[in-house]
Amino acid sequence: MTTEHAETISALRARAEGQRSHPQRTVEWLTGRIGRPMTIGILLTMIALWIAWNCVQVARGLTPLDPPPFFWLQGAVALYAALISTFVLATQNREKRHDEQRSYLELQINLRAEEKTAKIIALIEELRRDMPTVHNRIDKDANAMQLPVDTASILKSIEENLG
């Protein structure tokens, strides 16, 4: 990869990062912190302590903060799950937009490379025909490779195979 290509890809990533709003950065920071294995341990420990504390209160004959079946705990866990789901979706949506931009860039590069390859094959075939020492023959594969890719037919084939 040339330096220019690497710089273009880096610029695309930097632009995507720079376009994040403050709330988006906050959500992604939280998602990154919550998405760690340690969070599972902390969450399970907190739930176990909550249940244990309230069960001990019941066993002592005291009024627990959240008696079984732990209505407040269920609500807190449901709220946590809803928030985490929203954080993850917000992060994935932004990453999806960036991935689409990068995929479009890669597609353009690949199509341009295909054009260059077809041109090289055409030039080699022309050179082969013009060289008096090389026996002239018809190469169907080389002739086919000189033609531009029919993206419309490829797209149609993909759509037919997918659905």
- Output the pLDDT for position 5: 67
Amino acid identity of residue 62, one-letter, is L
pTM of the model: 0.60
> According to the model, what pLDDT value does residue 1 have?
54
Please check whether residue 24 is in contact with residue 94, taking contact to mean a CB–CB distance below 8 angstroms.
yes
Q: What is the pLDDT of residue 72?
A: 96
The pLDDT of residue 24: 84
162: tokens are 């997918």
- Asked, as a colleague might, if the bond just before 148 is cis with ω within 30 of 0, I would say no
Query: What are the boundaries of each domain within the chain?
Result: 3-162
Q: Could you tell me which of 127, 113, 121 has the C-alpha nearest to residue 143?
A: 121
pLDDT averaged per 10 residues in sequence order, the chain, 163 residues: 70 75 86 90 96 95 93 96 93 86 84 87 85 77 80 81 78
